[in-house]
Structure 1
């Protein structure tokens, strides 16, 4: 009876550790190399092919790790591009808001009577209407 309990606890603990390994590997994009290492480890116990072809086995592992590193690099490049795009958008939004505020000053509208909408439109604080209608933008651009 105690033997069954020990085996059951051992299997449960092993599966728990394996689950944690796969969660960490998934976050780091190392799932394929982990599967490869587990398959290579298991195959070592059942056949001597792995020991005879160790350079081939290690080459496969190195290729998978290289692909993971390449995936990390691609993700890093995408993240940098997205941050730059967000920064450029935020800069353009700030420039637009500054232009709207300066235009409101030119029109004689006090600064304490305005608010800024989430989309960057400068609004009259009391009415909630845009201070500078679209026609002013078109005249400035046209």
Structure 2
């Protein structure tokens, strides 16, 4: 019976570590999580970690700072993508408005991959 309890405990521990790794991966905190896990485990095996605790914490802070910089870069890229999509949407809307003012039916035109409004038959830009 005690062997079963030990194996069950190890299985539950590994499950929670796996779950934490998945969450850390989604939040881009894998590097700090692994660093923290190694630092915690190493305190049981070496005296160096306990003697240089401040240095270990600086390493953890550095990995967290790297993760925050990664988040900020992703946020900047997301904002730039949204601005570009909005600009393309506004441009296509303006082209459609110009085509309507010129009496061109929307059934006779299409929008290509660059966002240019073109005639169906001639493939020439409307504007």
Same fold (TM over 0.5): yes
Q: TM-score, normalised by structure 2?
A: 0.85
Aligned pairs (5 A) from 1:130-141? 134=124, 137=127
Identify if the C-alpha distance between structure 1 residues 30 and 136 changes in structure 2 by more than 3 Å, giving closer, same or farther: closer
- Residues paired across the two proteins, number: 123
Q: Could you say which structure has the larger radius of gyration?
A: 1
Cα deviation for residue 52 of structure 1 reads 0.5
| Deviations 1:61-103 (CA, angstroms, capped at 9, x unpaired) | 0011011101100110010001000100111011011111111
Identify if the C-alpha distance between structure 1 residues 90 and 135 changes in structure 2 by more than 3 Å, giving closer, same or farther: closer
Q: Unpaired runs of 5+ in structure 1? A: 106-110, 124-128, 138-142
- Report the 3-state secondary structure (helix = DSSP H, G, I; strand = E; otherwise coil) of the residue aligned with 1:46: coil
Q: Unpaired runs of 5+ in structure 2? A: none
Q: TM-score, normalised by structure 1?
A: 0.77
Cα deviation for residue 134 of structure 1 reads 2.7
1:29 partnered with 2:19? no
With a CA cutoff of 8 Å and minimum separation of 6, indicate the structure with the bigger relative contact order.
Answer: 2
